[in-house]
Amino acid sequence: MSRMKRFWRRVTDGMELSQLWNQFRVEARSSYRLYSHDVDSSRTPGTGKGKHFLNLGVQFFWAIIEKLSPARRVLLLIALLFLVFNGSISWQNAHGELRVFEFDGSMWGALLLLLLVILEVADRVVMKRDLQIAKEIQEWLLPANPPVVPGLEIAFATRAANTVAGDYYDVFPRPSSLPEKTFLIAVADVAGKSIPAGLLMATFQASLKTLAGTSASLTELVGRMNAYACSNSQNGRRFTTTFIAEFHSADRSLIYVNAGHNPPILRRNTGGLERLNDGGIPLGILADAPYQSGTVMLQSGDWLVVFTDGVTEAENEAGEEYGEARLLNILYANVALSPALLLDTIMRDLDRFVGDAPQHDDVTMVLLKAS
C-alpha cells in the first residue's frame, strides 16, 4: 500500500484531487482557446444544426492537426485509422483452403498515439527548459528589492501570465551632475505575451538604462526610446505602453511622461485623486511622435499607484473584470499601511476575485508613498 501511495504522490506531486481538477480545468480552457481561435463558429444561414456541428468538428480537427508537424500529422491519421479498423479478412487459396486474417487495430493505434505523445512531451520538455532559462534571465533584468529613495517608500510585484513576461518595472538612480539625487521610475507593458514580448522587454530595459546615463531631459529620453522602439516594432504591431518618471528627492518633484499607459493614480493625503495623463502615444508606433511631460509635487502621505492593464482587466470565472473601482476601494481603505503591506493586500484581493479563472495578461504594480 505504501508503494502505491508513493507512486500516486510522485504522479500528482502531492496535489489533492480538488487541486488536480482545478488545474485540469485551467489547462483545458487554455487549450480550448488555443484551438478555437482558428474555428469560425458562425452559422451560415440555411445550414441545419447537424451540418453546422459537423462543420465545427471538421474545423476543430484541422485546428488541432495543423499544430503538429507534417510527419506527426500522418502518424496521427494512421493511429486513428488503426483505432477504427478492427475485423478479419477471409479468402480461399489456390487449394480451396479458407484463410482468415484477423487484425486488431486498437493496440497498434494506441501504441502510435503513445509514440506521438512521447514526441510531443519531448518537445515540451526542451521548450520548458529554454523558457525557464529565459525566465531566469528576465528575473535578473528586474530588481529583486526596491532601492532606498529619500522621501519615498516603494514596493513592487509582478506575475507573468506565461513563463516569460512582457511587463517591465524598475526604480534606479539616474547619473546626474546635480547635487541632489534623481531617480527614474519606469513601468512598461509590451503588446503581447511570452517570448516575443519578453525579448522586446529586454531591449526596452537596455535602451532605458543606456539613455538614462545621458544628459537628455525626460521628454528627450522618451523620444529617443520611441525612435529605437520603432525600429523593432514590426511596423507598430509590437508597441509598448510605458510610464516613466523622474523623482527629485530635494524638492519631491515628480516629472513624468505617460506614453499610452494606464494613467497612474495619485491619491493625495487629503483624499483627493489625480491621474497622471500627460505624455503621448505608446512607443513603437510613430518614430517622430511628440511627447510632453507633466509635473506634480508630492507631499507626505501621498500615494502613487502605477500598474499595467493586467491588474484592472483581470477576469473571474464569470468574465467580470477586477476594475479600477475595486482597486481604489482597497487603496482608500488601507492608506495607513506601508507600501509592502498594501501591495500584499491588493494582490490577495485580486487572487480572491479571480479565483480559478486563468490569467490572461501579465500583472505588474508599483506602489510609492511619500514619507
193 and 362 Cβ atoms separated by less than 8 Å:
yes
pLDDT of residue 121: 83
- Poorest-confidence range of 3-17, 31-45, 56-70, 343-357? 31-45
Rounded to whole angstroms, what are the CA distances from 186 to 283, 298, 349?
A: 13, 17, 25
What is the pairing mode between strands 253-259 and 294-297?
antiparallel
Please name each of the domains of the chain with its CATH number: 2-134 (no CATH), 143-370 (3.60.40.10)
Per the model's pLDDT, the better-predicted residue between 53 and 293 turns out to be 293
CB contact burial 75-110 (16+ within 10 A = b; e otherwise): bbeebbebbeeeeeeeeeeeeeeeeeeeeebeebbe
d(CA 179, CA 248): 11
Residues 6+ apart with CB under 8 A from 329: none
**pTM for this prediction:** 0.74
Per the model's pLDDT, the better-predicted residue between 312 and 52 turns out to be 312
Judged against a pLDDT cut of 80, whether residue 41 lies above it is answered with: no
Judged against a pLDDT cut of 70, whether residue 249 lies above it is answered with: yes
Taking only the tens place, the pLDDT of each residue in 312-333 is 999 988 889 999 999 999 999 9
Q: First and final CA of the chain: distance in angstroms?
A: 60
pLDDT of residue 300: 94
pLDDT of residue 98: 62
d(CA 161, CA 170): 19
Highest mean pLDDT among 6-15, 119-128, 178-187, 285-294: 285-294
Q: Which three cell numbers stand for residue 243?
A: 510610464
Quick check: helix, strand or coil at residue 234? coil
d(CA 62, CA 50): 19
